[in-house]
Amino acid sequence: MSARLNLRRGSESDILNFHSQERVYMDQFKVRHAIIRSIIAVAVAVLLLVFSVLMVVYAEEPASEQAGMESVTSAEQDAHHAAQLAQQITRAYRAEYDLSRRGRTHGTALRELKKTDEGMWQYHTNTEASLLFLSDRRYNDSVFQLSGSQVQPLNYVYERRGTGSNRYYAVTFNRENEYLRNDNGDAIHAQWRDDLLDANTVLHQLQIDVAIGAEDHFEYFLIDEDGRDTSYEFAVDGRESIRVLGENQEVIRVSRVRDHDRRQTYFWFAPKLNYTMVRMQQIEGGKEQAQVNLTKLRFSDER
């Protein structure tokens, strides 16, 4: 009986040990299960975060590409619009002016733009002034082409006659080989630039840019009457009304920007007259030195 009792106690002890080990295993299983669930949850969260980031990146890329395309398209549209306006402004015409000084007429001026047989543009300007026994006659001839809204000179000739030394200067713009050639043997002190102008065509470029109206300040690089590098700056002063050809016209006044105030030069362009220059005035030392006013204007395509 004692042996049976010991056997029973042993069995109960084994059972208790089994249950105890089972609880330990269960606790360990729960801990491992909890750890695995945590790892899975973290992994899922990371995957979701990565997926969200990728969605944002891929969503922004097309928008960025579209914005870039819209920017390019807008720039192309602006350039196309500017080129169209340049074509409209570059219209054959003949404009005649009175040249005066402090209210007294002392000469005449002329501006003429016409198409050549080769399809280029010839721009001729001259002034003829006299005061007592003094005389001054200046002639400018340019042949140019248009590239978009940019005036590109091909040939430029300047001549001065009258009291004092006469002057003649001629230069060819070799655009194919990008160099300047003097046609009368004088030295050229200017470097090639694709946007280089001459002292004559700079005014037609100004007329175009005023008409385009994209800016109110302009800087041009050009070769002057002595074959030297220089630059001209202009600024739009605003709009006003003046008398032109017997009528009141709204005009745009533009001033030459200089690094000193000893001389001021002003230009007036009339939008309703194809932005033709209708007046120019030079003031030096507070006194008017010269003024030109439009007296006749004829466009070649008008009947």
135 and 233 fall within a common domain = yes
Domain extent for 14? 1-89
What total number of domains does the chain contain?
A: 2
In this predicted structure, what is the pLDDT of residue 18?
A: 47
Residue found by looking up tokens 């819209």 in the block = 70
Q: Please say whether the beta carbons of 287 and 264 come within 8 A.
A: no
The total of other beta-carbon atoms located within 10 Å of residue 157's CB is 19
65 and 112 fall within a common domain = no
In this predicted structure, what is the pLDDT of residue 85?
A: 95
Local mean pLDDT, 10-residue blocks, the chain (303 residues):
50 54 56 64 59 56 58 81 95 97 91 95 95 89 97 97 91 94 83 95 98 96 91 97 96 94 94 98 93 96 74
126 and 202 fall within a common domain = yes
In this predicted structure, what is the pLDDT of residue 58?
A: 55
54 and 164 fall within a common domain = no
Q: Please say whether the beta carbons of 297 and 303 come within 8 A.
A: no
In this predicted structure, what is the pLDDT of residue 19?
A: 52
In this predicted structure, what is the pLDDT of residue 7?
A: 46
Measured CA to CA, the distance from residue 173 to residue 8 in angstroms comes to 122
109 and 62 fall within a common domain = no
In this predicted structure, what is the pLDDT of residue 102?
A: 86
48 and 173 fall within a common domain = no
54 and 126 fall within a common domain = no
In this predicted structure, what is the pLDDT of residue 5?
A: 46
